[in-house]
Structure 1
Amino acid sequence: MWNGIERFEERREAMPDKVSVRGLQRMKDDGEKIVGVVAWDYQIARIVDRAGVDIVSVGDTVGVNLWGHSNPFEVTMDEMVTVTRAVRRGVRRALLSADFPFGPLQEGTDSAVRAAIRFVKEAGVDMVKVDAAPDFPEAVEAITRAGIPVFAQFGITPQTALRYGVEYNAVPSAADQVPVEMRDALIAEAKRLEDAGAVLLNFTNSGPVVGAAVAGAVSIPVVGGFGGGPWLDGRMRMAHAAIGYAATAIDDPPDTYANVARITLDAISSYTEDVRAGRQVAGGVPVPPAAAD
């Protein structure tokens, strides 16, 4: 690590209840799995932090999944700072990360460093998440040199799948289905990101073969969302997906840990029925007998 991150970590580790980057590294070294979630609001942040997750990441996916945007490119840096500040207020123990929206990385290294500093100063993040990190190694290195830990995302993209003749939405699960060239290229990408200073990798669409190979090839922790599994050092998942909090979950129940969307629909439907029937709502003040007649 660069000296700036060492100073950052000394402050973090002085607080014994806090997860630190060094703590994540120890977890990998000890074979303990890292738990990460994506959160976009204060209440969810409080809940997942209490549940004991290690990483809370504020994703630019907030635009599509919470605000109804048609694509993630509509999310701005100002909006990401606002959302991250809200999540920061709910997170006490876990490490807090935030995604760069589309723009700062594409505009150049100086722009990326300024955005990273803004995330630290205005939103209180513990690290910044760089998507498509292999395309921006100079930014990863410059942000690290500025003393800000980098959570670097890479993996099997639609372009990668096309190049090596694999299906993007069907991650290969057998060794004979994985092109050796693809495996070696992804290992090389992971090593370049580690050499650039990344403290944590998010490997998307890894699958068990390439995922295990990459996790074993680098010394830093490797976590993953879709396509991830026990073969990585940990998992990332959107909190809303883990609890089934999406309107689509009402009619198409997801394979997940809860169906909060259905619970919410039932609760609001009951509330609506009570109001229309002239009954007091749950949690309302007691209705005097005369008023009830």
Structure 2
Amino acid sequence: MPKISIPELARKREAGEPIVMVTAYDFPGARWAERAGVDMVLVGDSGAQVVLGYDSTVPVTTDEMLVLARAVRRGTETAFLVCDVAFGTTETSDAQAVETAVRFVKEAGADAVKIEGGRAERLSRIRAIVAAGIPVVGHIGLTPQTATALGGFRAQGRTVASASRLVEEAIGIEAAGAFCIVVEAVPSEITEVLREALTIPIIGIGAGPTDGQVLVLHDLLGITEGHTAKFVKQFGTIGADAVAAITAYGEEVRSRAFPAEEHGYAGTPEALEAARQALAAHASE
């Protein structure tokens, strides 16, 4: 199967073929996504919470994101690899944004970077990164890095002002040069308006049917513990299965049922005798 490209993603939109995107944060996750035949893999800053244990996406650093991204790159062959930039690494200037984006391309082999938000300064960052030859995926609606400014983790586009702002931001992001846009936690009716306004693919997450969908790997596999967003659908029970397996392992270790003879290696009489002689020599010193 050939590697997914930007023209192929555009073709899928025009042909009405849904684009499948999933997050991944390590080599095994990337391999699972590859074997499942997804179109795009996102090394999301959500890895700050689901992999690194932070309470939000804000604390994660570029160096931490690059560790995750390099692991995913090693496990990705045909899927198009997108990397989130960490909060605080593009906000200061266009030059800072380009420097950050370049690191993801050079050090992790990213095919594109994702930038949250669509206000004027964010559009300037997108234009600068695209001008440097790096593809950009936009992200509007609920933007986790700046959720506090949006009033918390709430759906967007439900008021007159918010809906109008989303349309303006989406059009601005496409005009700035982004080839794709993620729309998160937005009513499907508003997403349909956005689709009419844009020519680039829209990847939805809690935004109704559109050109494609993205979910966090740990959410869809059932690994995430506690509360999950309304838009999450669990397609597996890996978390519960893992706990059950580790519990069974612990029980067998404590009962000495594991390891059994078949889990060990056969030695030789000569090696055993040599080990005993070495012990005896050590004891006599």
TM-score (norm. length: structure 1): 0.81
Specify every segment of 5 or more residues in structure 1 that has no aligned partner in the other structure, as ranges. Answer: 1-15, 173-177, 289-293
1:67-111 Cα deviation digits (max 9, x unpaired) = 111232221111111110000001101000111101221121100
Residue among 232, 238, 244 paired with 2:216: 238
Residue matched to 2:270: none
Residue among 131, 135, 139 paired with 1:153: 139
Q: Compared with structure 1, are the counterparts of its residues 281 and 237 closer, same or farther at alpha carbon in structure 2 (3 Å cutoff)? A: farther
Question: Are the aligned partners of 1:271 and 1:282 in contact in 2 as well (CA < 8 Å)?
Answer: no
CA distance in 2, matches of 1:278, 1:160: 55
2:235 counterpart of 1:257: yes
Question: Are the aligned partners of 1:280 and 1:287 in contact in 2 as well (CA < 8 Å)?
Answer: no
CA distance in 1, matches of 2:257, 2:196: 62
Residue matched to 1:22: 7
CA distance in 1, matches of 2:43, 2:233: 23
2:93 counterpart of 1:115: no
Q: Compared with structure 1, are the counterparts of its residues 170 and 82 closer, same or farther at alpha carbon in structure 2 (3 Å cutoff)? A: closer
Q: Compared with structure 1, are the counterparts of its residues 125 and 186 closer, same or farther at alpha carbon in structure 2 (3 Å cutoff)? A: same
What is the RMSD computed on CA atoms of the aligned residues? 2.5
Number of aligned positions between the proteins: 258
Which secondary structure does the structure 2 equivalent of 1:191 belong to?
helix
Residue matched to 1:140: 126
Residue matched to 1:195: 175
Which secondary structure does the structure 2 equivalent of 1:136 belong to?
helix
CA distance in 2, matches of 1:120, 1:211: 30
Question: Are the aligned partners of 1:21 and 1:199 in contact in 2 as well (CA < 8 Å)?
Answer: yes
Residue among 200, 207, 210 paired with 1:228: 207
CA distance in 1, matches of 2:212, 2:15: 12
1:218-264 Cα deviation digits (max 9, x unpaired) = 00001121x2221x211111011010012448xxxx85111111100
**Deviation (angstroms), 1:161:** 6.7
Which secondary structure does the structure 2 equivalent of 1:213 belong to?
helix
Percent identity, aligned pairs only? 34
Residue among 39, 62, 67 paired with 2:47: 62
CA distance in 1, matches of 2:261, 2:3: 36
Q: Which entry has the higher C-alpha Rg, 1 or 2?
A: 2
CA distance in 1, matches of 2:159, 2:71: 43
The AA in structure 2 aligned to 1:192 is G
CA distance in 1, matches of 2:156, 2:139: 17
CA distance in 2, matches of 1:79, 1:182: 33
CA distance in 1, matches of 2:59, 2:148: 22
CA distance in 1, matches of 2:7, 2:261: 45
2:103 counterpart of 1:103: no
Which secondary structure does the structure 1 equivalent of 2:73 belong to?
helix
CA distance in 1, matches of 2:165, 2:55: 32
1:40-61 Cα deviation digits (max 9, x unpaired) = 1110110011101111011112
The range that moved more, 90-99 or 59-68, is 59-68
Residue among 69, 74, 77 paired with 2:62: 77
1:156-190 Cα deviation digits (max 9, x unpaired) = 5667876xxxx964677xxxxx5444333311211
Question: Are the aligned partners of 1:113 and 1:146 in contact in 2 as well (CA < 8 Å)?
Answer: yes
CA distance in 2, matches of 1:76, 1:168: 21
CA distance in 2, matches of 1:84, 1:146: 20
Residue matched to 2:245: 267
Runs of 4+ in 1 over 6 A off after TM superposition: 159-162
**Deviation (angstroms), 1:276:** 1.0
Which secondary structure does the structure 1 equivalent of 2:53 belong to?
coil
